[in-house]
Amino acid sequence: MEETTMAEPLRRQMKWASFLSTRPSLEAAIAEVVQQTQAALQTSPDLALIFISSAFASEYSRLMPLLQDQLPGVPLIGCGGSGITGMDGQGTPREAEGEPALTLMLASLPEVHVHTFHLSSEDLPDLDSSPKAWVDVIGISPDEQPQFVLLGDPSFGRLNDLLQGLDFAYAGSTKIGGLISGSITNSGGIFCDSYLHQEGMVGVALSGNIVLDAIVAQGCRPIGQPYLVTEGERNIMLALDQADLSFASAGSGSRVSQKGTPLEVLQELIQTLDEDDRELAQHSLFIGVAQSEFKQTLEQGDFLIRQLIGVDPRVGAIAIGDRIRPGQRVQFHLRDAKASAEDLETLLLRYTSSHPASTLSGSGALMFSCTGRGEGLYGEPDFDSLLFNRYLPNLSLGGFFCNGEIGPVGDSTFLHGFTSVFGIFRQP
């Protein structure tokens, strides 16, 4: 007799729901977001994320008791921000800047382990500690391959240590998040489960039947071509040489001299720019540090963008806002509204080419955007969130405007500025 087997039962699909309320009463806002998200989710939530406008800062202490009445026992993290992102009643993302606003995201996450945590600076091991010391602090095994969302207080003194420690202990895991913004003095502003914390970092680790993809739009476009740092000390570039032509990346400007001091290279590059870019370079010039030593064709997203913080005309050196070492490749970048829009669109096109919207049913997304973006940069509201929605429609989106954004470049996690970090949660 021919053997037959029963088909495996279909896996339940994850589902996300987000709603933004701009009601000026905290009670009314909570009631609205809970009602709307629960109606959209239509099942019991496994995770809640809450983002609350700093216009409510004096009422932060009331938020958790009110939410616990509505969502008892649901793992939760959240924070305050000067601007809040969420979905409106028509399923369109909206960025509410400088006004009372509250966004709730609920997620049904079948076969996903949800682990929330709060950390203070005193909790963290030394950087020379073993990976196990970091695992003991976080409380989840690297074997579970967790994905992380981190929300922190800007005064958290060991943020870079934490990001390095997490990369050390959880290599291959994606970490995204942001630092709270707005009127937060003496009001705390980070939430974990039923608690309001005055300082530190809260987070959630998600493991199991879930993948987290990160899009890190640093808002810059390259000019010229990559250069190799041949001499450098701490954060000071002392000499540059033209990188091998096989490493050339897109960017405006003609080829400049083969080698020289960083200042000479920059001065010659600026002479090749058109008038608009020369003017932009006077106040919006940055340096990109390639995060891959081996990738031959560098693209947008391969560079960690850092500020130029000073020059020494005597020796032609340039100081940047990060450590630099000989052997790294760098490229100058410009930033403005047009560059920011083009950067994000390029990254979204690249993502959707390998992840069509049809494969993302039930997925959700978080957006952590710098307070220097938004309407102040683009001159119109909701720009980044609507652009995201154009390429990835039907994904529930939530988030806030940050005082520093957390996201990966290459294999490492960094704190960024003037950046929009998107995290897309999907099933494998």
Alpha helices by DSSP H, listed for 157-243, are: 159-169
Q: Which residue has the higher pLDDT, 400 or 410?
A: 400
What is the predicted pLDDT for the residue at 184?
Answer: 52
What is the predicted pLDDT for the residue at 300?
Answer: 78
DSSP string covering 356-382: -GGG-TT-EEEEEEETTSHHHHHSSTT
* pLDDT 10s digits, 164-197: 999 999 999 999 999 999 765 445 699 999 999 9
- pLDDT reading at 399 higher than 80: yes
Mean pLDDT lowest for which of 24-38, 132-146, 295-309? 295-309
Q: Are 403 and 209 in contact (CB under 8 A)?
A: no
Q: Are 80 and 64 in contact (CB under 8 A)?
A: no
- pLDDT reading at 43 higher than 50: yes
DSSP string covering 247-259: G----BS----SE
- Coil, strand or helix at 385: helix
What is the predicted pLDDT for the residue at 247?
Answer: 40
Pairwise CA distance, residues 184 & 376, whole Å: 21
Terminal-residue alpha carbon distance, the chain: 36
* pLDDT 10s digits, 199-257: 999 999 999 999 999 999 999 999 999 999 999 999 999 999 986 544 444 454 444 44
Q: Are 425 and 365 in contact (CB under 8 A)?
A: yes
Give the side-chain half-sphere CA count within 13 A for 71.
28
What is the predicted pLDDT for the residue at 358?
Answer: 80
Kindly report the pTM of this predicted structure: 0.91
Pairwise CA distance, residues 148 & 176, whole Å: 6
* pLDDT 10s digits, 80-135: 999 999 999 999 999 999 999 999 999 999 999 999 999 999 999 998 899 999 99
Q: Which residue has the higher pLDDT, 242 or 394?
A: 394
Provide mean pLDDT across the span 320-327: 94
Q: Which residue has the higher pLDDT, 291 or 9?
A: 291
- pLDDT reading at 365 higher than 60: yes
Distances (CA, A) of 129 to 119, 175, 201, 408: 17, 20, 20, 22
